[in-house]
Chains A and B, each alone.
Chain A
């Protein structure tokens, strides 16, 4: 039995697969197509003795510019399930919102608390259906009646489960730290320290990750979402408020043009209040 997807030698020369698509897009935006905001990111998760810890950096980039310095990448899915998202910021946010709504309705209908595996299955089905067009690389973590769980879902719909995971552009930097430092059944402080160092490695070594570190600790007792857990030591002192009071700019001339409106048709609908 020979599968045709054996080792393929990459074709020589340039790859023009996206040329027609780009040409069409260029036409729409007159050459200045907006760059999507990506969370070039470092996210990580670790299972410890009493639950799961999720951690993320807080930088969102749009091309080469940092679009958001305090981006929240740890999304709420259910009271006991949270999800870190890497990839296209809009996709991760919207997808996790959809799953959160689905699970809330399910909880109300069935009277049961949602399970992590259910969120994973819904995400997998949805991302698979969209064949990779939704750029969401997610790490889901949560505690339910079956135990402490950590899963990753890729943009094409592949699922993997491990006691420690990292995703995003800084994943290899973080993975090195996790591979070295992970032990099964760690205590809370040990585990917090491990993910903190892992995200820090991503922030230092990856240009797409930076700023603060957020963490979210999920246990049977509840959720502790720390935003920020660790602040970046590189802070600027600019005022962020750029509001100007009315009258700051002098009005030189004023011209009022009344709009002439003509009544064309009048319909009256009586409201029944009986």
Chain B
């Protein structure tokens, strides 16, 4: 296994990936592809789960080194759980994002992981936060990340509208993921989407062969 390797900067398994999140009218959609690779040469898993539930109505998507991202989200889950027990109330989405940011910023030398956090809370409703590699925290209505995101900036800029309906937003997210997976070699597999609203959480999985096809396919 040592033969396959370390040309990319990430040691071990990497989620060279496409992740995104977008706010619609009444909730937020967060989604990712499902491919994990080693050195960008070999697909080590076709069905890896990159959308992790850190609390009842808060999810986050991981990008970068799989080991680092899994370790950080585990720590974040623990901190959030403790925080919500102490506060006797569900945590705010910004708290979840801050926990991730703190971990990424304080350990920026050792870690190679970035996140998109999305969720719903009673104070501000649906929100999306992005925590980048070095630990920057920023709130945006729509955000994309991972190596596959470069191929869909144009699409997202052109097609995103605030206050879309749930169906429109789901279609937008599916299209965006499909376009990115079609062009980026380290993104692929199935599209995992999670819709978070005031009432709850819904998982939508679109298998690779059911993804929308575009003119060149």
| Residue of B8, B45, B63 touching A3 (CB-CB under 8 A) | B63
B67 x A128 contact (CB < 8 A): yes
Is A154 part of the contact surface with B, judged by Cβ < 8 Å?
yes
- The majority secondary structure among interface residues of chain A is loop
A157 x B45 contact (CB < 8 A): no
Is A160 part of the contact surface with B, judged by Cβ < 8 Å?
yes
B145 x A156 contact (CB < 8 A): no
Is B11 part of the contact surface with A, judged by Cβ < 8 Å?
yes
The CA-CA distance from A128 to B63 in the complex, in Å, is 17
| Residue of B9, B12, B47, B63 touching A158 (CB-CB under 8 A) | B12
* Contacts A1-B143, A160-B48; A10 near B7 (Cβ below 8 A): yes
Is A7 part of the contact surface with B, judged by Cβ < 8 Å?
yes
Which A residues lie within 8 Å of B193 (CB)? none
Is A162 part of the contact surface with B, judged by Cβ < 8 Å?
yes
Q: From B12, B16, B114, name the one whose CB has the most chain A CB atoms within 10 angstroms.
A: B12
Interface residues of A in 33-72 (CB under 8 A from B): none
Which A residues lie within 8 Å of B130 (CB)? 1
Number of interface residues of B (CB under 8 A): 40
* Contacts A3-B64, A8-B7, A158-B70; A171 near B1 (Cβ below 8 A): yes
The CA-CA distance from A169 to B66 in the complex, in Å, is 21
B65 x A160 contact (CB < 8 A): no
The CA-CA distance from A6 to B132 in the complex, in Å, is 13
A-B CB pair tally, cutoff 8 Å: 89
Task: Name the residue on A nearest B130 (C-beta).
Answer: A1
Is B85 part of the contact surface with A, judged by Cβ < 8 Å?
no
B67 x A3 contact (CB < 8 A): no
- The majority secondary structure among interface residues of chain B is mixed
Which B residues lie within 8 Å of A159 (CB)? 70
Which B residues lie within 8 Å of A8 (CB)? 7-9
Which B residues lie within 8 Å of A124 (CB)? 70-71, 74
The CA-CA distance from A165 to B36 in the complex, in Å, is 14
Which A residues lie within 8 Å of B42 (CB)? 172
Is B95 part of the contact surface with A, judged by Cβ < 8 Å?
no
| Residue of A2, A87, A162, A169 touching B47 (CB-CB under 8 A) | A162
The segment from B119-127, B146-154, B171-179, B197-205 found at the interface with A is: B146-154
The CA-CA distance from A86 to B1 in the complex, in Å, is 10
Is B135 part of the contact surface with A, judged by Cβ < 8 Å?
no
A5 x B132 contact (CB < 8 A): no
* Contacts A8-B7, A137-B1; A1 near B67 (Cβ below 8 A): no
Is B91 part of the contact surface with A, judged by Cβ < 8 Å?
no
The CA-CA distance from A2 to B150 in the complex, in Å, is 8
A132 x B1 contact (CB < 8 A): no
Which B residues lie within 8 Å of A171 (CB)? 1
The CA-CA distance from A2 to B64 in the complex, in Å, is 12
Is B112 part of the contact surface with A, judged by Cβ < 8 Å?
yes
Task: Name the residue on A nearest B47 (C-beta).
Answer: A162
Is B170 part of the contact surface with A, judged by Cβ < 8 Å?
no
Interface residues of A in 153-204 (CB under 8 A from B): 154-160, 162, 167-169, 171-172
Is A267 part of the contact surface with B, judged by Cβ < 8 Å?
no
7 A/B residue pairs, CB under 8 Å, sorted by A: A2-B150, A4-B133, A8-B7, A121-B74, A132-B11, A158-B65, A158-B70
Q: Top 5 A-B pairs ranked by shortest CB distance?
A: A156-B12, A156-B67, A158-B66, A157-B67, A10-B7
Known: A128-B67, A160-B13. 12 other contacts (CB 8 A): A3-B63, A7-B8, A8-B7, A8-B8, A127-B67, A128-B70, A131-B110, A154-B12, A156-B67, A167-B1, A168-B1, A171-B1
